[in-house]
Amino acid sequence: MPKVFLTRLCAVAMATFALVACKEEQQASAPAARPPAQVGFTTVSAESVDLTARLPGRVVAFRMAEVRPQVDGIVTRRLFEEGSAVEAGQPLYQIDAATYEAKVKIAEAELARATATLNSTRTKLKRYESLVKTNAVSRQAYDDVVAEEQENRAGVSAAKASLDAAKISLGYTEVLAPIGGQIGRSSITEGALVTAGQAAALATITQLDPINVDFTQSSASLLRLRQMFRTGERSKGTKDALPVTLNLDAIDLEYGKQGTLQFSEVTVDETTGSVRLRAVFPNPERELLPGMFVHGVVNQGVIERGYLVPQAAVSFDRVGDPFVYVIGADETVIQTKVHLVDAAGTSWLIDKGLSDGQRVVVDGLQRIRPGAKVTPVEVQRPAAKTDETAQKLSALN
């Protein structure tokens, strides 16, 4: 074998050996494949959720009555203490009754005179009834007595009506409370002259227990809510009276008693585009006073099947559509679009895009992408505040 050939053969063998050794060294120094990222998830399930809206409102008296005189006269006494509670029918003022007592006596005398005249005419009529049968008196004379008796009977009725009117006027000299409630200051004192139908009220009575609160809601929100009721996106629930809770803005404190929604106005305010809702609250301690500004949490229907998902689990794509990452059966990540209904503290309420039993990623979102394998670890969802029926949320308006 020629020497040159042997030399070349050795060179090729050495090069091959060096190449193999270099490749093995590179493989040994290459990092090991990364394991699937570990992510936290929570398993979702549908639940019934009460939706509410936080609305501004103003406290309004349940009933209010201005006390006015119904007869003319001089006020002789004031029979109440300003600022006190009064009952319906309680005497408040006494107007000088002497003139009206005299009018009652005059009416009684007129009634007695009319009654006497009627009795005399009836006696005469009985006598003429027997005489006309024997032609002792003319038919014309008998007819005149009949007409006279009818006239006298009408006179008695008129006298009775006059007496009733006089007694009513006498009764009005004692000014009574038209409703029960708390009475304010008196605008007049003893000795003042008052007249029937005067413009100025003697005092004002306000009923404070129960008390009304008027809320305002935009007409657009109300129309949208009614549309949701029609399409079935929300239901009105099974409660006969919709509950309302109240926050006292002046002291930033929740009012301790729950009210009920009574009605919504049928017209829209032209200047604000809002609709008025009225709720009634018990107010035994007189904590709510007319004119106070408050905020109320008003029921806005029920989502029969909704999912509460931590806000950190929801992302938004380039066009602003919300989505979540769901872990599939093969431990791969699936990007799923969802529909957000509402915010509930640190959670979102979702009504479309999820189904019961799905595993939604709530932790480690920055380490995953759609289609990636993951190592799921279940995260305990914090207990939400619930009542016997559903969770309370603050509706978007």
Does 194 score more than 50 pLDDT? Answer: yes
CATH class of 47-60+209-394: mainly beta
Determine how many CB atoms are found less than 10 A away from the CB of residue 225: 19
CATH class of 97-172: mainly alpha
Per-residue pLDDT tens digits for 352-375: 889 999 999 999 888 888 888 998
Distance CA 18, CA 8 (A): 15
Per domain, the residue ranges of the chain are 47-60+209-394, 68-95+174-207, 97-172
Provide CB contacts within 8 A for 93, sequence distance 6+. Answer: 67, 69, 75, 77, 78, 79, 174, 175, 202
Enter the tokens of residue 340. Answer: 């957000």
The angle, 0 to 180 degrees and rounded to 10, between the axes of the packed helices 139-171 and 98-133 is 160
Per-residue pLDDT tens digits for 121-134: 999 999 988 888 88
Distance CA 57, CA 246 (A): 9
Average pLDDT, the chain: 82
Does 396 score more than 70 pLDDT? Answer: no
pLDDT at position 68 is 94
Mean pLDDT computed over 199-221: 87
Per-residue pLDDT tens digits for 130-177: 888 888 889 999 899 999 999 999 999 999 999 999 999 999 999 999
Contact 324, 315 (CB under 8 A): yes
Does 239 score more than 80 pLDDT? Answer: no
CATH (residue range 68-95+174-207): 2.40.50.100
- Of 382 and 386, more confident: 382
pLDDT at position 263 is 72
Enter the tokens of residue 268. Answer: 């829209």
pLDDT at position 243 is 78
pLDDT at position 25 is 54
